Amino acid sequence: MLKEFKEFALKGNIMDMAIGVVIGGAFQKIVNSLVNDIIMPAISVLTGKVDFSDMVFTVGNASIKYGNFITAIVDFLIIAFSIFLVVKYLNKLNKLKELGDFAASKLDKDGKFIKHKEEMQEEPKEPETKICPYCLTEIKYHATRCPNCTSELVEKNGNLEEAVIEEGK
């Protein structure tokens, strides 16, 4: 059982997730510093130095610190928007890479761009099925006898015709 747990714990997926959690925790400090030390002071300058953390609602002996809640919501929105911008930028970089790969795939053997659709088209593929001319059922393309009506099929000039079998003549 210990051996199975060791194999499970040391699998690549678990280790990748653990590394992601550790790096995410370290990155959280950077994001918190960005929000608390740079963005929130800039917002307080724009809003007239409003400090949400001092907002408290008192009911009896209990104090409800809704200002901290508002600050947490603003922090979340700022972080979410920042992540949105980063992901949008990374997606743009991926699209540029895909476009580069697509353009590279449109090069011929000499490294020149293929300009016309006719140059890009592949050889036409052979059909997989055909229609029996006698019973009109769909059969395999290379069949020489129809499995439904048992007619023997031969091709003459590209057309299917029933084979004439002459016995003893």
Q: Would you give per-residue pLDDT tens digits along the chain (169 residues)? A: 888 877 777 776 777 788 889 988 888 888 778 877 887 778 777 777 666 777 888 888 988 888 888 878 877 887 788 778 888 988 888 888 877 777 666 666 666 666 555 545 566 778 888 888 888 889 988 888 888 888 888 765 545 444 444 333 3
CB distance 132 to 149 below 8 Å: yes
- Cα–Cα distances in angstroms (integers) from residue 49 to residues 5, 53, 54, 136, in the given order: 54, 12, 12, 84
Q: Which residues contact 40 (CB under 8 A, 6 or more apart)?
A: 71, 74, 75, 78
Burial class (CB in 10 A: 0-12, 13-18, 19+), 68: middle
3-state secondary structure of 115: coil
* pLDDT for res 81: 84
| Per-residue pLDDT, 33 | 84
The ranges assigned to domains in the chain are: 1-48, 51-121, 129-162
Query: CA 39, 41, 87 angle in degrees (round to 5)?
Result: 5
